[in-house]
A = this chain, B = another copy of it.
């Protein structure tokens, strides 16, 4: 019932070895018999058992990704990255193995399982932490991987976006429009990119001679609801900011909700800007000014790099740094009232 090499071999009156080598295209089998074998395999609908093949050859043609369960659903970031990686993987004939896990210990052990159980040839990881145990583990295990993001230790292949420069331009844009009281909603500090984006904020303020106001720098959890909550607090300050920059679009959209809830108009009373340029950003009301990360393309390029690492080919660039693009829309529209 199940058709294996053996079935084909018996049908052809040949050995398993010959069938295997014929199908693999080795040149030590007669061209005529090869064609005959291929025909029979086709007719019987033979499909190699990949478990057996992997067991023997230690190659799975599969790329692993672990998705944090918290952000799995609501996070367009991962979806887009996934799309890029998946798309490019298909290009190379690779499949994608996804494991959704709670961040933390479970997540790390998912990596451990994936790697040690030899189900995958390589890993793409994202949202790297400043001090990332997953990277430490993968490095120590000598398992091929590429990261989207830099961490403290940078002796591994990564692709990243220059968040510092991105936010620098974004805040510069707001300053140009006359804003002086500019708040920033940070992402959790342990995420590597938080520091970079905060740096850009500080640099832009510094060059414009604007002192950093401690109360204007708040932290949230990358979700829309979190952004709404902290923006609420910002607006309740005795001297509220006239512009709010968030570390990602989801939080920026949350901030827009908070502003509207106060009876203020986004873009007219308070400017808002985000980071990422998720698809929704172009459709918010008003459309969101943001910094565009080409996440989809990053996914594709990360996979390109990973394939090189897997095949032990030298990478032309082991560290890719992309300069993000400022997307000005109406949410940063008007100059501040006073």
Q: Which residues of A contact B (CB under 8 A)?
A: 45, 47-52, 54-55, 60, 62, 67, 69, 72-73, 76, 79-80, 82-84, 86-87, 89-90, 95-101, 112-113, 115-119, 253, 279-280, 283-287, 296
Closest to A112 in B: B47
How many copies of this chain does one complex carry?
Answer: 2
Closest Cβ–Cβ distance, residue A330 to chain B (whole Å): 10
Contacts of A73 in B (CB 8 A): 80, 83-84, 87, 296
Closest Cβ–Cβ distance, residue A246 to chain B (whole Å): 16
Contact with A117, one of B47, B55, B69, B253 (Cβ below 8 angstroms): B47
Beyond the given A48-B117, A285-B287, please list 12 additional residue pairs across the A-B interface where CB-CB is below 8 A. Answer: A45-B112, A45-B116, A47-B116, A49-B117, A50-B119, A51-B54, A69-B87, A69-B90, A73-B80, A73-B84, A96-B98, A279-B280
Contacts of A279 in B (CB 8 A): 76, 280
Is the beta-carbon distance between B112 and A87 smaller than 8 angstroms? no
Across chains A and B, which 3 residue pairs bring their CB atoms closest together, nearest first? A47-B116, A90-B100, A51-B54
Closest Cβ–Cβ distance, residue A147 to chain B (whole Å): 20
Is the beta-carbon distance between B285 and A119 smaller than 8 angstroms? no
Is the beta-carbon distance between A51 and B119 smaller than 8 angstroms? yes
Closest to A287 in B: B285
Is the beta-carbon distance between B95 and A89 smaller than 8 angstroms? no
Contact with A87, one of B55, B79, B100 (Cβ below 8 angstroms): B100
Per the bound structure, the CA–CA distance linking A253 and B87 in Å amounts to 25
Which among A69, A86, A296 has the highest number of chain B CB atoms within 10 Å?
A: A86
Contacts of A115 in B (CB 8 A): 47
Closest to A286 in B: B285
Contacts of A253 in B (CB 8 A): 283
